[in-house]
Amino acid sequence: MATCISAVNLNYQIAPRTVSKFTSATSSDQTASFSFGASESVGPSLRLALTRAAKSTTTRLLRKKHGSLPLRVFCVDYPRPELENTVNFLEAAFLSSTFRDSPRPAKPLKVVVAGAGLAGLSTAKYLADAGHKPVLLEARDVLGGKVAAWQDEDGDWYETGLHIFFGAYPNVQNLFGELGINDRLQWKEHSMIFAMPSKPGEFSRFDFPEALPAPLNGILAILRNNEMLTWPEKVKFAIGLLPAMLGGQSYVEAQDGLSVKDWMRKQGVPDRVTDEVFIAMSKALNFINPDELSMQCILIALNRFLQEKHGSKMAFLDGNPPERLCMPIVDHIQSLGGEVHLNSRIQKIDLNDDGTVKSFLLNNGKVIEGDAYVFATPVDILKLLVPNNWKEIPYFQKLEKLVGVPVINVHIWFDRKLKNTYDHLLFSRSPLLSVYADMSVTCKEYYNPNQSMLELVFAPAEEWVSRSDEDIIAATMSELAKLFPDEICADQTKAKIVKYHVVKTPRSVYKTVPNCEPCRPIQRSPIEGFYLAGDYTKQKYLASMEGAVLSGKLCAQAIVQDSELLAARSQKAVAQASVI
């Protein structure tokens, strides 16, 4: 298979990093250590002369005139998969084209959008494509919402979450293409890799063969894995899954009333299948366990993964999301006449006498008026700001069942390069941790040849979100000692912590528990001129980055469809104001 290779130039002599939170003695041996795709680490044992070649990574040594030994390290990514011919990609591409091809408005609508996460950015981007003027307001001083990230005093980034871009994200993939930033996704090998709690330090893989189409590649990946499920368990799971494969989307939506655990038992699937596979999947998808998660969520993921050849193929963004993903969207919006403002928190939704929106009042006292208004914040923030006049309307009443789930994202920088890891997302199968990755290997901007930085999702987090950072790090280290038995001890007698960051999100994506589906609102509200966007709104990808982007497109679509009505309404309001 061809590979896409990107180079990082490094000096042979590497200076010690500035440390914070923890201080530890760094090794006096400043020889660089390199991590490769197959969990292999090459470093101090090679000293000044590297004589072995890494399996799939080219390492070149070039001596300079004065005898120093600079290193040129090539990090291998996999090619972008062929996504453009899938039905879902083409549907997403067509929806994008409708905004670019729509008739230009005689007078662009001024649409005020609250929230610069992916839903708000998507809404504003596609409204701008349609010729309208979005004014995007973000409460914080950083873009991205649930994909926000911050830079510490050392210049290192820490993020709200560990974000993975799947091949089965057609609207996200179209968005990258429309912005001309496809090269910012670092695609990994088509595998799912699970830690083995019964065998500390070992992993079990589901490898999807490139030569086979879907669903055969997924079926073979499952059949070839003999470490996690027995053959009788695979057969019973396959039989249990048949109704979902045959029944299509209508069957999937009908399973919203059952938890994963209840559905599995109803279908005669052994509990061990849930324990071995679906605890990890449930925590990765919604940060909760399978006894709480709606089976609809799992079936939607399986449907995409099994029906699209590259659906479960994963990519990492090549750097921090605010700069590498959000800023290109902002630049696009501004290039078409839109506006984006940070530090603009909504304090109140002011209403006209007829109950429609008059303006957004900001915390700084500014009043923002528009022809239409969009709330693209998390559902919990919306519920705090819903005007009293609206609270008895069923559309808004149903929102009470939608509640954000707490999650914690942990970043730990170690004093050495860890060997027992992959250039990939890893499912920990830990009771406290969900997924994790060594970002010093998987992400170009975070690349470090000498030290590992593990980013881990701590979930379920409901009992931990109020605990101290120190407690969370101690618990994380205890779990990591099981994943890295030869390299990490909870007491740091092996690998030592250089520093850490803990990011707590008390209310993240909406908790996809049974019977939530009827409560999810469509993007067009019953209040004329007021719209919603967000992964909790009605769209087929549930709580995900893809769901957020699609919700923004659907919101923009509703506004474009209503544009003549909204323009006439604004003209009437202006006329009435002039008479008064």
- Report residue 572 as tokens: 């009437």
At 341 the three-state DSSP class reads strand
Residue 5, pLDDT > 90, answer: no
The pLDDT of 554-575, averaged and rounded, is: 91
- More reliable by pLDDT, 40 or 350: 350
* Mean per-residue pLDDT of the chain: 87
Residue 310 class from Cβ within 10 Å (0-12 exposed, 13-18 middle, 19+ buried)? buried
Look up the pTM and report it.
0.87
pLDDT at 271: 95
Mean pLDDT on 283-292: 96
Q: Where are the alpha helices (DSSP H) in 190-230?
A: 216-224
SS3 375: strand
Q: How far apart are CA 317 and CA 325, in angstroms?
A: 8
CA of 485: how far to CAs of 26, 87, 201, 418, 454, in Å? 21, 45, 6, 11, 15
Residue with tokens 């292999």: 40
Which pLDDT belongs to residue 21? 40
| pLDDT of res. 59 | 30
pLDDT at 83 over 50: yes
Give the model's pLDDT for residue 570. 83
Q: How far apart are CA 433 and CA 82, in angstroms?
A: 33
Positive/negative CA dihedral, 289, 294, 299, 301? negative
pLDDT over 50 at 78, yes or no: yes
The continuous run of DSSP H or E covering 157 comes out as strand 157-159
| pLDDT above 50 for 39 | no
Q: Is the pLDDT of residue 22 over 90?
A: no
Q: Are 186 and 165 in contact (CB under 8 A)?
A: no
Kindly tell me if the per-residue pLDDT of 159 is higher than 90. Answer: yes
**CA proximity to 447, closest of 3, 81, 14, 60:** 14
Taking only the tens place, the pLDDT of each residue in 495-506 is 999 999 999 999
What was the pLDDT predicted at 572? 79
Amino acid at 300: I
Instruction: Name the least confident of 94-108, 213-227, 234-248.
Output: 234-248
| pLDDT given for residue 579 in this prediction | 62
Give residues with Cβ within 8 angstroms of 534, minimum separation 6: 115, 117, 119, 375, 376, 377, 378, 379, 382, 548, 551
Phi and psi at 292, nearest 5°, equal -110, -35
pLDDT tens-digit series, residues 168-192: 999 999 999 999 999 999 999 999 9
Q: What is the pLDDT of residue 242?
A: 87
pLDDT at 52 over 90: no
Query: Which tokens hold the place of 111?
Result: 């649409």
Instruction: Tell which wins on pLDDT, 289 or 60.
Output: 289
Task: Give the confidence band of 580 by pLDDT, cuts at 50, 70, 90.
Answer: low
Q: Tell whether the model's pLDDT for residue 398 goes beyond 80.
A: yes
Alpha helices in 22-148 (DSSP H): 87-101, 118-129
Q: Where are the beta strands (DSSP E) in 439-528?
A: 453-458, 497-505
Report the C-alpha gap between 547 and 541 in whole angstroms. 5
Query: What's the confidence (pLDDT) of residue 75?
Result: 54
Instruction: Give the per-residue pLDDT at 571.
Output: 83
What pLDDT does 373 receive? Answer: 98
How far is residue 225's CA from residue 208's CA, in Å, rounded to a whole number? Answer: 11
Q: What is the pLDDT of residues 508-544, one digit of tens each?
A: 999 999 999 999 999 999 999 999 999 999 999 989 9
277 band by pLDDT with thresholds 50, 70 and 90 = very high
pLDDT at position 3: 36
Distances (CA, A) of 450 to 61, 74, 148: 17, 15, 26
